Amino acid sequence: MRQVLTVVSAIVLFVYPFAVYFGIDQFGLNLVGVILVVALLLRMFTASKTPFKELKFLSFTTGIVGILLAISGVVFEQHGWLKFYPVLVNLCMLGLFSLSLTQPQSIIERLARLSDPDLPQSGIIYTRKLTAVWCGFFILNASVALYTCFQPIEIWAFYNGFISYIAAGSLFAGEWVMRQILRKED
């Protein structure tokens, strides 16, 4: 049951920009706000079972902020509050990744060690640099997402529901290709 709830909440949050864009027009701000609050609560509940304390913290922080934004949107009857959620998610991710750079193991190194517990020194250096690259991505993505908050909702939804996902996916895919090349050189 927990896995089903995790999948449902992940899907709702993944399509968040389009849920806001189409949902408000079709169902109204109140219903969309309630659905988002429920999805965020589910996400917080399911995240409490993860072994990574950083991911628990991230889920709870983004959950609380998202709930506050949804409630503010409903109370003040303005959908603009909902537009700030992607900005705050990027800032939370930036915080998580950048704080991990102050630790002996970056977050990406910890994730890499799940599949390769004996990560070589070159892998440690690589994961640290990659964590810094993702920090740069989150800064840029949060900045553009913030800019779109003050644009028409169509532009906001297109960037935050499509372009930002393409950009993140491209970075992820490009890194995977680079990692394969570097592994062959070792």
Residue-level pLDDT at 3: 64
Cα 98 to Cα 107: distance, rounded to the nearest angstrom:
9
Asked if 13 and 19 touch (Cβ cutoff 8 Å), the reply is no
The amino acid that residue 157 corresponds to is A
| pLDDT band at residue 4 under the 50/70/90 scheme | low
The range of the structural domain enclosing residue 8 comes to 2-185
Q: Which residue bears the tokens 């996902």?
A: 165
pLDDT tens figures, 130-157: 999 999 999 999 999 999 999 999 999 9
Helix (H) or strand (E) holding 3, with range, is helix 2-14
- If one compares 46 and 92, the residue with the highest pLDDT of the two is 92
* Average pLDDT of span 105-129: 89
In angstroms, the CA 83 to CA 156 distance is 7
- Over residues 15-30, the pLDDT tens digits come to 889 888 888 888 999 9
The CB-based long-range contact list for 122-129 (8 Å cut-off, 24+ gap) reads: 122/182, 122/186, 126/179, 126/182, 128/101
- In this predicted structure, what is the pLDDT of residue 182? 76
Total tally of structural domains belonging to the chain: 1
Amino acid 5: pLDDT: 58
At 11, the pLDDT band (50, 70, 90 cuts) reads confident
Q: What is the pLDDT of residue 78?
A: 92
Lowest mean pLDDT among 3-17, 80-94, 120-134, 169-183: 3-17
CB distance 108 to 171 below 8 Å? no
Asked if the model's pLDDT at residue 122 lies above 90, the reply is: no
Give tens-digit pLDDT for 88-102. Answer: 999 999 999 999 999
CB 15 within 8 A of CB 155: no
Question: pLDDT tens across 101-112, in order?
Answer: 999 999 999 988
Q: Would you place residue 128 in the very low, low, confident or very high pLDDT band (cuts 50, 70, 90)?
A: very high
Q: What is the mean pLDDT of the chain?
A: 89
